[in-house]
Amino acid sequence: QLIGVMGVHVDDTAVGGMGPTFEKSIAQLKARFPYRKWRRGAGEFCGAMYEQDPVSKEIVMSQQHFAETLKPDFIPKSARPDTPLDASQTRVLRGINGSLNWLSSQSRPDLSVQTSLSQQCFPKPHIGNLRDANNAIRRTKQHKSLSIRFQSIDPNRLTICCHSDAAFANVGVHTQAGYVLAFVDSKMHKGQVSPWVPAIWRSYRLPRT
């Protein structure tokens, strides 16, 4: 019987569980490692904030603070979209793409397409690509309060649901595809709305055949 789970990344740890065996294990963990902070019900893990409802057990994940730190690059209004980026602008665009990739892969699937398309402009990005990346940052900040909600689902009723979409040459001359895998409750009663917990998502360019 599952009594607890633990996720570890470098020096960040997140645990969940209940019962005397679980509590004993946590005590041993604290005795072995010198944790600087230990929070219950809410806290930060890998740059994201988590908070759990004590009644419903729903967990809300947000990266609002990280989204607020992103800054678009300055582009003169007279700059032509087809002008190649110089070395400095290229470094800035790589940094923006890295930040967007972190957000879109962790908590903001709504940014996946813009992030993927921005990454595809290399190795020869232009001013137009940098403008598109700036627009992605604006969207990031506009919806900075978006969060992911992990609702409680009985493991015996856990089911995987997949949504996918692709249309031939839907982005210029190539095809941009995407999918979302989520956890749902397989035994919800008629009229009830099943919990829908996103687990994995991706937006990418399909290779030509």
pLDDT digits (tens, 9 = 90+) for 142-168: 999 999 999 888 888 889 999 888 788
With both helix axes pointing from N to C terminus, report the angle between 127-142 and 112-119 in degrees, rounded to the nearest 10: 160
Q: Output the pLDDT for position 93.
A: 98
Q: What is the pLDDT of residues 44-81, one digit of tens each?
A: 888 899 999 999 889 999 999 999 999 999 999 999 99
Q: What pLDDT was estimated at residue 191? A: 65
Paired tokens of 209:
């055949």
Mean pLDDT of 23-28: 95
Q: Which residues contact 73 (CB under 8 A, 6 or more apart)?
A: 89, 92, 93, 96, 130, 133, 134
Distance CA 52, CA 42 (A): 6
Single pTM value for the model: 0.81
Average pLDDT on 128-134 reads 97
The answer on pLDDT for 209 being more than 70 is no
Is residue 10 predicted with pLDDT exceeding 80?
A: yes
Residue 18 has pLDDT above 80, yes or no: yes
> What average pLDDT does the chain have?
90
| 102: CB partners within 8 A, 6+ apart | 47, 66
Average of per-residue pLDDT across 169-198:
81
Q: Which of 204, 201, 202, 132 is nearest to 175 (CA)?
A: 204
Token pair for residue 121? 């402009």
Q: How far apart are CA 136 and CA 71, in angstroms?
A: 11
> What 3-state class would DSSP assign to 105?
helix
Which phi and psi (to 5°) does residue 147 adopt? Answer: -140, 165
